[in-house]
């Protein structure tokens, strides 16, 4: 690993992502309708053409949105996990283990049950609020004597996640008509993505990334103690506030779009550190790249395992991530 030049460590994941994305665009076609590699090339060359065949239209209207959402969601969940691990100085921190996913999911369930006809933007807002409340509760439980207790953090996250899951199930009992759709959504995946979801999702990914570009050079300081960071002129409280805001927006938008996706935020940051090093100025973009790569690969594997049915990618990610967590 150490013998690989730095440029090759960036090129290899990019090539792997390009290959998997191309394969995902045509493999495991629905029914008897076969999509060929040439159909993908034609669709990519002229996606707005009116002369596209049915297989080429399937590439444009169903496969490409699916790949784009998987790439964006994997990237932001992986970076969110890295930011949480950096902020809490806990290697097990991630959106799923700290109950942000569970709180965001509860917010979407409550919005679906009690706010009928709510749009995707409302769902994203409800998810962000639910994630923020559950994160606040976890942090409140984990603080003692004015300091964050690492030994309490993960246990508090698991407990709050269980509470959110129980409350979500109780809410579904009040509206059984929502149960089927919500159960499919809770599995997590990108099987029903369209360009409508892409257009609603990408601004919530890109806009929070703008302040993060300004904050990244300061992230390495968080590996020090709060006292040492403050002595270097960094407002730790303000930095954590902005990082938390970015994470909550990203996770809320992702959960509202794809459902709760576990383990990317736990697994990928450690892979990125091992692959590129501990300097967060390089680890953050590598984390985004590997996160998108893992989600696209999981979605392709999910289709391969259940073809011609469509297994949720979230289930495959859980099968990968649970043994790693153990």
pLDDT of residue 44: 87
Mean pLDDT of the chain: 85
pLDDT surpassing 60 at residue 236? yes
pLDDT surpassing 50 at residue 99? yes
Question: Which of 197 and 121 is assigned the larger pLDDT?
Answer: 197
pLDDT of residue 291: 95
Question: Which of 26 and 225 is assigned the larger pLDDT?
Answer: 26
Lowest mean pLDDT among 50-59, 78-87, 181-190: 181-190
pLDDT surpassing 50 at residue 249? yes
Max alpha carbon distance in the chain (Å)? 68
- With pLDDT > 90 as the criterion, what percentage of the chain qualifies? 28
pLDDT of residue 20: 93
Residue 213 φ/ψ, nearest 5 degrees: -60, -35
Question: Which of 148 and 8 is assigned the larger pLDDT?
Answer: 8
Q: Which residues pair with 92 in a beta bridge?
A: none
For residue 148, the SS3 value is strand
Average pLDDT over every residue of 286-296: 94
What pLDDT band is residue 118 in, cutting at 50, 70 and 90? very low
Average pLDDT over every residue of 242-252: 90
Lowest mean pLDDT among 75-84, 113-122, 123-132, 141-150: 113-122
Q: Which residues pair with 189 in a beta bridge?
A: none
Which residue, chain included where needed, has tokens 């034609």?
42
Question: Which of 292 and 145 is assigned the larger pLDDT?
Answer: 292
- The CB density around residue 154, as the number of other CB atoms within 10 Å, is 18
Instruction: Tell me the CA distances in angstroms from 151 to 77, 102, 324, one per residue in order.
Output: 23, 20, 20
Lowest mean pLDDT among 70-74, 191-195, 304-308: 304-308
pLDDT surpassing 70 at residue 222? yes
Secondary structure of 151-176 in HEC code, one letter for each residue = HHHHHHHHHHHHHHHHHHHHHHHHCH
Question: Which of 189 and 116 is assigned the larger pLDDT?
Answer: 189
Identify whether the C-beta of residue 265 lies closer than 8 Å to the C-beta of residue 90.
no
Q: Give me Rg for the CA atoms of the chain.
A: 20
Question: Which of 289 and 153 is assigned the larger pLDDT?
Answer: 289
pLDDT of residue 25: 87
Which residue, chain included where needed, has tokens 């990019």?
14
pLDDT in tens, 21-52: 999 988 887 666 788 888 889 888 888 777 88
pTM above 0.85, yes or no: yes
Cα 261 to Cα 317: distance, rounded to the nearest angstrom: 8
pLDDT of residue 7: 81
| Structure token digits, residue 287 | 């984390």
**Nearest C-alpha neighbor of 69 from the set 167, 233, 195, 165:** 195
pLDDT surpassing 90 at residue 88? no
Cα 236 to Cα 278: distance, rounded to the nearest angstrom: 20
DSSP per residue, 76-116: HHHHHHHHHHHHHT-TT--TTTTTHHHHHHHHHHHHHHHST
**Nearest C-alpha neighbor of 71 from the set 207, 247, 190, 245:** 190
Question: Which of 16 and 169 is assigned the larger pLDDT?
Answer: 16
Average pLDDT over every residue of 93-122: 77
pLDDT of residue 110: 83
Beta strands in the chain (DSSP E): 143-144, 147-148
pLDDT of residue 180: 66
pLDDT in tens, 155-214: 899 999 999 989 888 887 777 666 666 777 777 788 888 899 899 899 999 999 998 888
pLDDT surpassing 80 at residue 215? yes
């Amino acid at each position: 690993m150490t013998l690989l030049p730095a440029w090759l460590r960036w090129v290899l994941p990019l090539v792997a992502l390009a290959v998997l994305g191309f394969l995902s665009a045509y493999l495991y076609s629905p029914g008897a309708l076969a999509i060929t590699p040439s159909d993908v090339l034609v669709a990519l060359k002229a996606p707005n053409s009116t002369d596209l065949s049915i297989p080429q239209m399937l590439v444009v209207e169903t496969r490409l949105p699916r790949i784009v959402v998987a790439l964006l969601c994997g990237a932001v969940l992986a970076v969110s996990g890295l930011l949480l691990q950096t902020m809490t100085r806990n290697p097990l921190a991630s959106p799923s283990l700290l109950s942000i996913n569970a709180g965001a999911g509860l917010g979407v369930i409550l919005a679906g049950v009690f706010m009928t006809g709510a749009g995707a933007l409302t769902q994203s807002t409800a998810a962000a609020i639910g994630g923020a409340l559950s994160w606040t509760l976890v942090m409140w439980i984990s603080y003692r004597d004015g300091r964050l207790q690492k030994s309490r953090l993960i246990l508090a996250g698991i407990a709050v996640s269980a509470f959110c899951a129980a409350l979500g199930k109780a809410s579904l009992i009040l509206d059984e008509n929502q149960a089927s759709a919500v159960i499919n959504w809770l599995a997590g995946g990108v099987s029903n993505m369209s360009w409508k979801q892409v257009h609603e999702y990408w601004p919530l990914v890109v806009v929070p990334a703008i302040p993060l570009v300004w904050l990244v050079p300061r992230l390495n300081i968080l590996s020090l103690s709060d006292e040492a960071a403050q002595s270097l002129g960094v407002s730790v409280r303000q930095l954590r506030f902005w990082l938390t805001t970015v994470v909550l927006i990203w996770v809320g938008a992702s959960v509202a779009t794809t459902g709760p996706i576990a383990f990317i935020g736990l697994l990928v940051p450690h892979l990125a550190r091992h692959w590129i090093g501990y300097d967060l100025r390089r680890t953050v973009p590598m984390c985004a790249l590997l996160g998108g790569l893992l989600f696209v690969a999981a979605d392709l594997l999910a289709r391969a395992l259940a073809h011609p049915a469509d297994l949720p990618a979230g289930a495959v990610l859980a099968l990968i991530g649970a043994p790693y967590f153990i």
